[in-house]
Amino acid sequence: MPEAVSYEQIPGGQDVKPSASSRCGLLCCAACVIILVVILVLIWPAVWWQLTESNPPKNLRPKLVSFFEIENLTANMPPAPSNYPDVLRGYIWMDQAGYYGASQVPSASPDLVLSFGDPLHPLDTTTRSIRVNTTGPCWSWANNARAYLHVATDRASNFTYKFMWDESFSSAVIYSCTSTNGHESCRLNHGNGLLQLKLLIIRQSPAKDMCPPAPRATKADRASCAKFVRVTRLLFPGTSWTIPFLQFNYYVFQIAGDDGTPVEPYFTAYVDFAKSQCQPAAASAQGYGINCEGECLKNSSAFIAVRPGQ
Ligand SMILES: *[C@@H]1O[C@H](CO)[C@@H](O)[C@H](O)[C@H]1NC(C)=O
Ligand SMILES: *[C@@H]1O[C@H](CO)[C@@H](O)[C@H](O)[C@H]1NC(C)=O
Ligand SMILES: *[C@@H]1O[C@H](CO)[C@@H](O)[C@H](O)[C@H]1NC(C)=O
Ligand SMILES: *[C@@H]1O[C@H](CO)[C@@H](O)[C@H](O)[C@H]1NC(C)=O
C-alpha cells in the first residue's frame, strides 16, 4: 500500500525526500533536545518579562501616589542617613534600558531611581541587610501605564527587595519578599517556573582617569564609570547554583549626593531618560485608583507610590 507522504516544498528547489541518513537516531534526538533547551533559556527571559506584565491584579487602589518634576527628584525622596556606609548613600539610577550605559537586559522595567533612606526599613547592621520597598518613599517610577501596573501589583503583594551585603559592602545578593496575612517569604529566585534568576549588585571601582566619561565615550566606557553593576544570573532549577557564563548585566549610576547635589553627567542622563519614558495615561491610571491630574499630566513628571512623609 503506498504511503501518503507530504514533502516540504523548497522554493526553486526539489522536493525534499527523507533518506536513511536523515532519520533521527538517539544521538540526533539528544542534540535536538539540547538545542531546544538552549533556545528556551535564551528566549525565556523576554517571554517571562512580557508575561509578568500582562496580568493586571484586581481591586488595587494605591491612592497615595505622588507625582513630581523629574528634575526635582531628590526633594521628594529621603536620602540614606549619614551614618550609613558610603556604598548605600546618595541616589542611584537603574539604567536597565541601557539608555546611557550598556545593558543586556531584554526588557526594562519602568523603574527609575532609588535611595536606601526609607525610615520604615533601616539598615540591619548585624546582618548587613536592608530593604527597599518599591511602593515606599525611596523608589521612583517613570510616569507611564506600565509603571501604574507594577505599582499596583507590588502593593498588592507587599513587595520589597532585600539586599544582603557581604562583610565589606562590596556586593549584595538581592532577595524578593512578599507577604500575605502577616506571613512573609523572601526568595533568592526571582523567576518563576522554568526560568530561575539570581540578582546581585556589585560595587565597581571606576578608574579616576577615565571617569566621568567624555561626552562621546562608548556605552561600555560609561558603564565602567557606574557605581554598581547589576548582574542577573540563571540558576539551575531548584538549586541555588548559578549556570556558568550565562548572565545579564546592567549598570547603576549615582545621580545625586545625599544633599541632592546632582552628579554629572549621570543626573542629566537620568533626566533625559525619565522624560523619554514619561507618557501620562490618565484613563489607565484611573483603572488602578490613581488620580492623574496636575503634575501627573505634565510631560516631565515621575512618581513615587506614596506621599512624602508616609
Ligand atoms: C520640588 O519638590 C518639593 C517637594 O515636593 C516641592 O515643595 C517643591 O515646590 C518642588 N520644586 C519644584 C521646582 O517643583
Ligand atoms: C511599603 O511602603 C508603603 C508606604 O510607606 C507602606 O504602606 C507599605 O506597608 C510598605 N510595604 C512593606 C512591605 O513594608
Ligand atoms: C500587607 O501588609 C499589611 C501590613 O504590613 C497587611 O495589613 C496586609 O494585609 C498585607 N497585604 C496582604 C495582601 O497580605
Ligand atoms: C512638554 O510640555 C511643554 C509645555 O507643556 C512643551 O513646551 C514641550 O514641547 C513638551 N515636550 C514634549 C516632548 O512633548
Q: Give the tens place of pLDDT for each residue, 233-277.
A: 998 887 888 888 888 999 999 999 999 999 999 999 999 999 999
State yes or no: pLDDT of 67 exceeds 90: yes
Q: Out of 71, 72, 77, 303, give the residue to mutate to test ligand 1, the one with the largest number of ligand atoms within 8 Å of its CB.
A: 72
Q: Which residue has the higher pLDDT, 274 or 39?
A: 274
- Residue 37 C-alpha cell reads as 533547551
State yes or no: pLDDT of 53 exceeds 80: no
Q: Per-residue confidence at 7, pLDDT binned at 50, 70, 90? A: very low
> Distance between terminal CA atoms of the chain?
80
179 lines ligand 3 (CB under 6 A): yes
pTM confidence score: 0.81
Atom of ligand 2 nearest to the CA of 305: 4
CA dist., res. 149 & res. 111, Å (int): 12
Q: What is the pLDDT of residue 2?
A: 43
Half-sphere exposure of 178 (CA within 13 A, CB side): 10
67 lines ligand 1 (CB under 6 A): no
Determine contact, residues 257/89, Cβ cutoff 8 Å: yes
Which of 27-41, 96-110, 189-203 has the largest mean confidence? Answer: 96-110
State yes or no: pLDDT of 212 exceeds 60: yes
68 lines ligand 1 (CB under 6 A): yes
307 lines ligand 1 (CB under 6 A): no
Beta strands in the chain (DSSP E): 66-69, 91-95, 111-114, 129-133, 139-142, 160-165, 171-180, 183-187, 197-203, 228-235, 242-256, 301-304
Q: Give the tens place of pLDDT for each residue, 8-36.
A: 333 333 343 444 444 556 666 676 666 66
List the residue whose alpha carbon is closest to atom 10 of ligand 1: 72
Which ligand places an atom closest to the C-alpha of 307? 2
Determine contact, residues 73/261, Cβ cutoff 8 Å: no
CA dist., res. 229 & res. 202, Å (int): 5
Q: Where are the domains of the chain?
A: 56-304
